[in-house]
Amino acid sequence: MKVEVDEPDTLMTLPELQKQALQLPINERWQLVQALLESLQQTYPAKKKGNLSRLRGIAKSTKSSDA
């Protein structure tokens, strides 16, 4: 999997994207987690919604305990 970055001809691999994400401050990583979960819920609204909701709940409870 490759992700387009700043320049249209530049692609980032999934491991590169993961490495970059891990360099973000913790609050921005939680924002990224939330955005990804919301994206998954929009993509698969009926499938596994319970599991995604539980993950979102875990992310929120962990975030508030880290703050």
pLDDT tens digits for 4-60? 556 666 788 999 999 999 999 999 999 999 999 999 888 877 655 566 666 666 666
Question: What pTM does this model have?
Answer: 0.55
The total of structural domains in the chain comes to: 1
Contact between 18 and 33 (Cβ < 8 Å) = no
Domain range for 58: 2-66
Q: Helix axis angle, 14-22 relative to 26-43, nearest 10°? A: 140
